Amino acid sequence: MPCKARHTPYNPSLSEWLCPDCGANNEAFIIEESASGSDDECTLLHVDDCLECFDCKFYGSGKSFAAGIMKRKSLVPCPECGGKGVVTSKPAES
């Protein structure tokens, strides 16, 4: 069954899967509740996934987590492919 939940524009790698507050890894920082409509076999991050850290009690969404990584890495949704990928943002030319 294909996944019907909306995916984040950026899918974090395992090395990026760290709690944004305390840096806990995937043993303590998990998807507590998957987004409605997501397929059990889908390995992509969903906008409405509920994330939780058991170490520091951080709680957030897949959308905010992916957005934070994109901001730190200066990534934006790709304008060429309608946002299905990400590219490095370029500073405005003067």
- The string of pLDDT tens digits covering residues 69-90 is 999 988 887 777 765 667 677 6
d(CA 65, CA 74): 14
Task: Provide the 3-class DSSP secondary structure of residue 27.
Answer: coil
- Domain spans of the chain? 14-88
Would you say 26 and 17 are in contact if contact means Cβ atoms under 8 Å apart?
yes
Tens digit of pLDDT for each residue in 28-52? 999 999 999 999 899 999 999 999 9
Kindly report whether the global pTM for this prediction surpasses the value 0.75.
yes
Distance between CA atoms of residues 53 and 11, nearest Å: 18
In the chain, which ranges are continuous DSSP H helix?
62-72
- Rounded Cα distance between 75 and 21, Å, is 21
